[in-house]
Structure 1
Amino acid sequence: MPLSSDALSPDALLEDLARPGELLIVQDLDGVCMELVHDPRHRRLDPAYLRASRRLEGQFAVLTNGEHEGSRGVNRVVEAALAGQTDPAAEGLYLPGLAAGGVQLQDRFARVSHPGVSTGEIAFLAAAVDQLRGALLERLPALLPQLDAQERAAQVEAAVLDNPLSPSLNLNGLFAAVEGDVGRQQDLQQLALELMGHLLEQAAGAGLGEAFFLHLAPNLGSRGGSEQLKPASAGATGTTDFQLMLRGALKEVGLLVLINQAIARRTGSAPLGADFNVRTAPHDHPSLLELARSAIPPALMPRLVGVGDTITSMPAPGGEGWLRGGSDRGFLTLLQELGEVFGTANRVVLVDSSGGAVDRPSHGDGTLAGLTDPEDPLRIDASLPGGPQQYVRLFQELAERRS
């Protein structure tokens, strides 16, 4: 469906957000401020964007399913962007906010904590990485016989993401190796589901059955408590990221954590409690909304801006209804609902991430096909068809106006 008639142009969005008043921008990373790539180690950030984020201190936080730390964490991308220019730790140029869906908290000096996470859970996640590598090396020859051993090893190294709190399989490179072969792409998706399923079974056997869940991106929403795979097709790659994540590591829960912290910084008091975190919070939308309504005084609620790129919508089989998902949908929807409850003019901003190396629906034709639908309760207030480059320019200008 096309954008609604009252949607803001990028210029109008900038003018709207530059108005005085308490503001909190909650922003995804991959596909928003940097292009999507097959290998996270090849991501690039604009140093000017990092400096703009510092000028917006207190008004800006990231909320990502990726991670701050680790060999593929965004902190390595920050350091690469500023290499030879400045020390990001000394200048406070790391990106503050929540990673790993909400269980990895960082300030702008890269001081990292893991509220609510046990040492046993961290140890299990660390061991999962080697298991995934070994299993892929064993199973890939049957699926990718055209590659030699060295090529398969390189693919495994790129596919297994050694994130400390969310070990993952990223199929982008493997999909590229079988480009155009939808059958084998779907076989790779099923293999990833199988390997992650084995990890969940092991966790249950170790007494950690309630500790983890499997996050799929993009996905087609949840059914029975499990996120639904978006199968590869001739028109779209479907699900490419399979993340073993800690229970509670949901962006919509992280949104309340960030709001709670923003109010605490401004007033000295946290309305949801100083120790409020995603592991102890409710995990469903109605409960999160009611918690915010009951505990946060309306006068303290900042105006919220949610920025993401990953939402999906497809017709349900049989043409009855829609299958909606995407890793940004939950927090963007809750942010919109909070605006309605608190009477704040919250904004949902969608960035076009189709220009990167990963196949995503484009905003270029003026529609949001594959992203939303005519009955979608999530309203997009502004679309940025120019992708991360356009967003970064807008972000820099906003920082100049508000600092």
Structure 2
Amino acid sequence: MPLSPHALSPDALLDDLAHPGELLVVQDLDGVCMELVHDPRQRRMDPAYLRAARRLEGQFAVLTNGEHEGSRGVNRVVEAALAGQADPAAEGLYLPGLAAGGVQLQDRFARVSHPGVSAGEIAFLAAVPEQLQRRLLERLPALLPRLGAERRAALVEAAVLDNPLSPSLNLNGLFAAVEGDVGRQQDLQQLALEVMGQLLERAAGAGLGDAFFLHLAPNLGSRDGREQLKPAGEAGTGTTDFQLMLRGALKEVGLLVLLNQAIGRRSGTAPLGAAFNVRTAPHDHPSLLELARSAIPPALMPRLVGVGDTITSVPAPGGGWLRGGSDRGFLTLLQELGEVFGTANRVVLVDSSGGAVDRPCHAGGDLAGLTDPQDPLRIDASLPGGPRQYVALFQELAERRS
């Protein structure tokens, strides 16, 4: 569907957000401030963006399903961007906020904590990457017989993300190796589901049956508590990321954690409690909204801006729409908080189709595959120029508000 006639242009959005008043920008990372790539180790970040984030201290936080730390964490991208220019630890140029869906908290000096996560859960997760590599190396020869062993090993090494709190399979490189073969891509998706399902069974056998869930990105929403795969097809590759995540690591829950912390820093009292975290919070949408309504004084509620790129909406076979995407939950809750508290919250969608990963684009204002005419999530502003346009707008916002 086209953008709403009430949607703001990028320039109007900037003017709107530059007004005085309390503001909290909550922003996804991949596809928003840096282009999507097949291998997370190849991500690039503009140093000027990092300095702008520093100027917006107290008004900005990240909320990502990726991770701060680890060999493929965003902190490595920050360090590479500033190499030879600045020491991010000394100057406080790391990105503050929540990663791994909400269980990895970091300040701008890269001081990391894991609220609510047990030592047993961390130990289980640490063994997952090696298990994923072994299973893929066993199964891929039958699926990709034309590739040599060395090439398959390289693809597996790139596909298995050794994130400390959310070990994952990223199929982008494998999909590129069978580009145009939709059947083979769907086989790879089913293999990823099978391998991840085996890990969940192993966790249950270790007494951690309620500790983890499988996050799919992009997805077609949830059914019976499980996120639904978006199959590869002629119109796009569908689900490419399969993340083993800690229960409660949901971006919409993380939004309340960030909001609680921001109010606590400003007022001296965290309305949801100093120890509030995603593991102890309610996990269903209505309860989160009611918790915020009942516990947060309206006078302390800042204006919220949610920035993401991953939402989906496709026609359902029997009518209606299948809606999902890893940013949809937190953007929807942010929009609803604005309605409840009477704040002009903004939902900003960045076009991430210009990178190496296949995503629907915003060309001509058409958001097909992202939203639909009945979608309750309203897009207040679209940035068709992708991460580059967003970073430029973000820098200007920092200049105006600092």
Following the alignment from structure 1 to structure 2, what is the Cα–Cα distance between the partners of residues 292 and 86? Answer: 39
Q: Does 1:129 align with 2:137?
A: no
SS in 2 for 1:306: strand
Instruction: Structure 1 unaligned segments of length 5 or more: list them.
Output: none
| Residue of structure 2 equivalent to 1:142 | 142
How many pairs are equivalent?
Answer: 402
Deviations 1:134-164 (A, max 9, x none): 0001101111111111101100000000000
Following the alignment from structure 1 to structure 2, what is the Cα–Cα distance between the partners of residues 141 and 81? Answer: 37
Q: Does 1:391 align with 2:390?
A: yes
Letter in 2 for 1:397: E
| Residue of structure 1 equivalent to 2:159 | 159
Following the alignment from structure 1 to structure 2, what is the Cα–Cα distance between the partners of residues 235 and 3? Answer: 21
Q: Does 1:241 align with 2:249?
A: no
Matches within 5 A, 1:211-290: 211-290=211-290
* Cα shift at 1:269: 0.5
Deviations 1:185-213 (A, max 9, x none): 00000000000000000000000000000
Following the alignment from structure 1 to structure 2, what is the Cα–Cα distance between the partners of residues 204 and 358? Answer: 34
Percent same amino acid among aligned pairs?
89
| Residue of structure 2 equivalent to 1:177 | 177
Following the alignment from structure 1 to structure 2, what is the Cα–Cα distance between the partners of residues 58 and 146? Answer: 53
Letter in 2 for 1:60: F
Deviations 1:225-244 (A, max 9, x none): 00000000011000000000
| Residue of structure 1 equivalent to 2:200 | 200
SS in 1 for 2:57: coil
| Residue of structure 2 equivalent to 1:168 | 168
Letter in 2 for 1:400: E
Letter in 2 for 1:2: P
| Residue of structure 2 equivalent to 1:376 | 375
Following the alignment from structure 1 to structure 2, what is the Cα–Cα distance between the partners of residues 138 and 72? Answer: 24
Following the alignment from structure 1 to structure 2, what is the Cα–Cα distance between the partners of residues 209 and 138? Answer: 26
| Residue of structure 1 equivalent to 2:28 | 28
Hey, which bits of structure 1, 4+ residues long, moved more than 4 A?
none
SS in 2 for 1:208: coil
Letter in 1 for 2:142: A
* Cα shift at 1:365: 2.3
Q: Does 1:298 align with 2:304?
A: no
Q: Does 1:113 align with 2:102?
A: no
TM-score (norm 1): 1.00
Instruction: Structure 2 unaligned segments of length 5 or more: list them.
Output: none
Following the alignment from structure 2 to structure 1, what is the Cα–Cα distance between the partners of residues 285 and 336? Answer: 9
Q: Does 1:337 align with 2:336?
A: yes
| Residue of structure 2 equivalent to 1:363 | 362
Following the alignment from structure 2 to structure 1, what is the Cα–Cα distance between the partners of residues 398 and 267? Answer: 22
* Cα shift at 1:214: 0.1
Following the alignment from structure 2 to structure 1, what is the Cα–Cα distance between the partners of residues 116 and 155? Answer: 34
Letter in 1 for 2:81: A
* Cα shift at 1:366: 1.4
SS in 2 for 1:317: coil
TM-score (norm 2): 1.00
Q: Does 1:323 align with 2:322?
A: yes
* Cα shift at 1:373: 0.2
* Cα shift at 1:364: 1.1
Following the alignment from structure 1 to structure 2, what is the Cα–Cα distance between the partners of residues 43 and 152? Answer: 22
